[in-house]
Amino acid sequence: MPDSNGAVRVGVYVCHCGSNIAGIVDCKAVAEYAAGLAHVVVSRDYKYMCSEPGQELIRTDIQEHQLNRIVVASCSPHLHEHTFRVATANGGLNPYFMAMVNIREQDSWVHTDKAAATHKAKDLVSASVRRVVLQRPLDKARVSIDPNVLVVGGGIAGIHAALTLANAGKHVYLVEREATIGGHMAMFDKTFPTLDCAACILTPKMSSVKAHPNITLWTYSDVENVAGYVGNYKVRVRRRTRYIHEDLCVGCQECVEACVFKVPKVNDEFNQGLGKRRPIYLPFPQAIPQTPVIDRETCIEFKTGKCKKTCVEACADRHAIDFKLEDKLEEIQVGTIILATGFQTFDAKRIPYYGYGHYPNVYTALEIERLVNASGPTSGEVVLRDGKTVPKSIGIIHCVGSRDENTNRWCSRVCCMYSLKLAHLLKEQTGAEIFNFYIDVRTPGKGFEEFYQRLLVEGVHFIRGKVAEVTDWVFDPSEEGMLTLRVEDTLLGVVRRIPVDMVVLSTGLEGRHDAQEVRRLFNITCASEGFFQERHPKLAPVSTFTDGIFLAGCCQGPKDIPDTVAQAGAAAAEALALICAGYVEQEPNAAYVIAEDCSGCKNCIPLCPYSAITFTVDKRAEVNPVLCKGCGTCVAACPSGSLQQRMFEDDELFAEIEGVLVHA
């Protein structure tokens, strides 16, 4: 393998990418121009460099023309750098003798002036040719992968990912913030379009999580700190105390019954505040684990210290309840992490003209899920807030908070279908007249459109138009005591007033309120909407830009249960792929000290965020290549130029700068 910088022979390849590049950039001209550059022996343009024949071209040229440097001008290195390094290696060269030029994402796709775009491509190629001449042969370092996996979030995504990995024989730590796993799915009544009950399909999976020997389940817990890198993450988890020993509690719930609060008074979060709970409670009957929680804010003992502690009596000789218990910190070592932190629903109060929080009989969809649920606050009886009146007419407003410049611009994907589902369930239980107000009905899924047709047959009304307001303004005596929806029926072309007893707001999905903190904690990126960003929208939908961290479920974007489960499986598979390989190769871009040149001024040491630089006994700086992530901050600061970075050496970057500017 030639690795000398001696007789340098460069091959340049300009990709058309069909018309993606060639449509704007004159690839032929660029190749001809490159042919005239110093050290360039071969210069070609080709339709698809990433294709098999394209790569073959590189391989054969290397051999026929004794090339020892390769420049490929095509798409973003984030897409195909790996591809062309492999092609280079297949030709018998060190893969790091290849340099890529981005003339698609950052040239042909963003410019319209062909001459200027071609000029730009030439400059970038000239820079890369100058750079590649100086590039050194490098070898990837291998980092071993700890087989343990951390799954964050115990909704259906986290549950499925955890089970998949556990069944593959890997140990999983499943960390959930709430007191139970199950997430939003546990709150749903039935699931569209099949109408099978959510609990019936979810709870068995929940119990197998609890029972699985390979799963360590920590609920009521938060990830507090994440350190390390792919294969070797050190994670600190805070297990908030329930004031009940999980190991001593048998889940009999006698303490809950025995609570001094004979009548539950606290708003029940699981039931969206439609029901009440006690200070000591189990979120819902099938909760996993079956260990109750004591909530400090409302418990008499914590507020006054003078409670009769009837709960403790009830627990008797099991002694599971202990008001002195404290949070527990767990330090774990994992190789990969799957984030399944889920979503939150749009806050309907942000749209004042729909009257949520102002008019009692305006509900969110999630409230209705609980209301129609047999185990819900009204045991499945659909009544208005007064607790008795059964609604005779119901208006369901789609796209609340979604597809709107003023709130969230995206389509939340599930609202149409869950609105149809709720329409069906509400009609089934109340026989009420039901009006759906929609912008478009979107039913792209297996059995979705059929379900829509079924509702039309059932006589549910569909009115195409964005509701202007929900008001108690009475224009006609018939509206007295009702909520009137004012809407332009865009099919009839008239403005209508439709009075109803109950209004349901189909609120959209958005990223968790604390998505930003979580994102920083795991050092991944967020898309502008507050959902976590995948590495590539098509080719790497569950990976992130941080190696070893994967995404599952709605934390990456709105999706329904089947898609969520599929994605969770994919994330698990990605993690398994790393674990089974046993190691991951690291980009060899670490910084290094030229020992004989270093004066030991220590300037670099505090600049390293990973404490990878140490001061040696012979009073010089030294970089630990495993800890170094290759940011190069120390290199830029070394006052005597004795620190360098592989792949981004000073001379390589100076050469690039000269290269882009040399041809006016």
Partner 1 sequence: MKPKVAFYWCAAGGGCEEMVVDLAEGILDVVAAVDIVLWPVAMDFKKADIEAMEDGSIAVAFINGAVRTTEQEEWAHLLRRKSQAVIAVGACAQMGGIPGLANFSNRAGVFQTVYRDAPSTLNAEGVLPETTHQDNGFTLTLPRFFDTVKALDQVIDVDYTIPGCPPTPQLLSDAVSALLAGKLPAKGTVLAPDQALCMDCPRKDTKPERLAISEFKRPHQVLIDQEKCILAQGLLCLGPATRSGCGSRCIEGNMPCTGCFGPTSRVRDYGGKVLSAIAGSADSNDEAEIARILDKIPDPAGTFYRYSLPVSELQRKRL
Partner 2 sequence: MPEPFEPRIVAFFCNWCTYLAADLAGTSRMKYPPNARVIRVMCSGRLDPQFILKAFADGADGVLIGGCHPGDCHYQEGNYKCLRRFNLLKRVVKEMGIEDDRLRLEWISASEGDRLRTVMIDMVEKVRALGPLNWNASLEEVAVS
Partner 3 sequence: MPEKPGYLYFPGCSLRATGVAYEESLLELFRMLDIPLHELNDWNCCGATSYMSVDEGSAFVLSARNLSIAGGMEAPDLMAPCSACYLALRKTQDYVSHYPETARIVEEGLKAAGLKPLNGVRVRHPLEILYNDIGLAKIKALTVRKWQGGKIACYYGCQAVRPYDEVDRPHDPMRMDQLMNAVGVETVDYSLKTKCCGGTLTGTIHDVGVRLNYILLKEAVRKGAQAIVTICPLCQFNLDAYQAEVAKESGEVFDVPILYFTQVLGWALGGNLKSLGLKRSIGGRGLVRKWFTENREVLANA
Q: Which residues bind partner 3 (CB under 8 A)?
A: 352-353, 358, 471-475
For the chain, how are helix, strand and coil distributed in percent, rounded to 5?
Answer: 30, 25, 45
- Which position among 266, 439, 607, 653 is part of the footprint of partner 1 (CB under 8 A)? 607
Query: Considering the rule CB under 8 A, would residue 594 count as an interface residue with partner 2?
Result: no
Q: Sign (positive/negative) of CA torsion 52, 55, 61, 62?
A: negative
Token pair of 442, please? 């979107």
Which residues lie closer than 8 Å to 241 by C-beta, 6 or more apart? 220, 325, 326, 327, 328
Query: Considering the rule CB under 8 A, would residue 528 count as an interface residue with partner 2?
Result: yes
Region of residue 142 (left: phi > 0; alpha: psi -120 to 50; beta: else): beta
Token pair of 395, please? 């208006």
Cβ 634 to partner 1 shortest distance, Å: 9
Specify whether the CB–CB gap between 598 and 614 falls below 8 A.
no
- Which position among 26, 45, 107, 510 is part of the footprint of partner 2 (CB under 8 A)? 107
Cβ 527 to partner 2 shortest distance, Å: 5
Integer Cα distance of 510 and 444 in angstroms: 20
- Which position among 251, 445, 600, 625 is part of the footprint of partner 1 (CB under 8 A)? 600
Integer Cα distance of 125 and 128 in angstroms: 5
Integer Cα distance of 617 and 627 in angstroms: 20
Q: Which residue's CB is nearer to partner 1, number 467 or number 643? A: 643
Query: Considering the rule CB under 8 A, would residue 408 count as an interface residue with partner 2?
Result: no
Q: How many CB atoms are closer than 10 A to CB 534?
A: 22
Query: Considering the rule CB under 8 A, would residue 311 count as an interface residue with partner 2?
Result: no
Integer Cα distance of 281 and 295 in angstroms: 8
Cβ 598 to partner 1 shortest distance, Å: 7
- Which position among 44, 69, 85, 119 is part of the footprint of partner 2 (CB under 8 A)? 119
Integer Cα distance of 564 and 568 in angstroms: 6
| Strand 583-586, strand 591-593: pairing | unpaired
Question: Is the peptide bond preceding residue 193 cis, with omega within 30 degrees of 0?
Answer: yes
- Strands, DSSP E only, in 105-167? 141-144, 149-152
- Which position among 55, 88, 102, 361 is part of the footprint of partner 2 (CB under 8 A)? 102
Query: Considering the rule CB under 8 A, would residue 636 count as an interface residue with partner 1?
Result: yes
Cβ 365 to partner 3 shortest distance, Å: 22
Partner that binds at residue 609, options partner 2, partner 1, partner 3, none, CB closer than 5 to 8 Å by kind: partner 2
Integer Cα distance of 574 and 544 in angstroms: 11
Residue 586: strand, helix, or coil:
strand
Specify whether the CB–CB gap between 417 and 455 falls below 8 A.
no
Q: Choose the stretch contacting partner 1; rule: CB under 8 A; options: 160-168, 246-254, 469-477, 598-606.
A: 598-606
Query: Considering the rule CB under 8 A, would residue 194 count as an interface residue with partner 2?
Result: no
Cβ 618 to partner 1 shortest distance, Å: 11
Cβ 637 to partner 1 shortest distance, Å: 4
Token pair of 402, please? 């979604």
Query: Considering the rule CB under 8 A, would residue 400 count as an interface residue with partner 1?
Result: no
Q: Which residue's CB is nearer to partner 2, number 109 or number 302? A: 109
Q: Which of residues 126-155 bind partner 2 (CB under 8 A)?
A: 127
Q: Which residue's CB is nearer to partner 1, number 335 or number 632? A: 632
Contacts with partner 2 by CB under 8 A lie at: 76-78, 102, 104-107, 109-113, 116-117, 119-120, 123-124, 127, 520, 523, 525-528, 533, 537, 545-546, 589, 607, 609, 629-633, 635-637, 645, 648, 650, 653-654, 656-658, 660-662, 664
Q: Which residues bind partner 1 (CB under 8 A)?
A: 597-603, 605-607, 615, 619, 633, 636-642, 650, 654
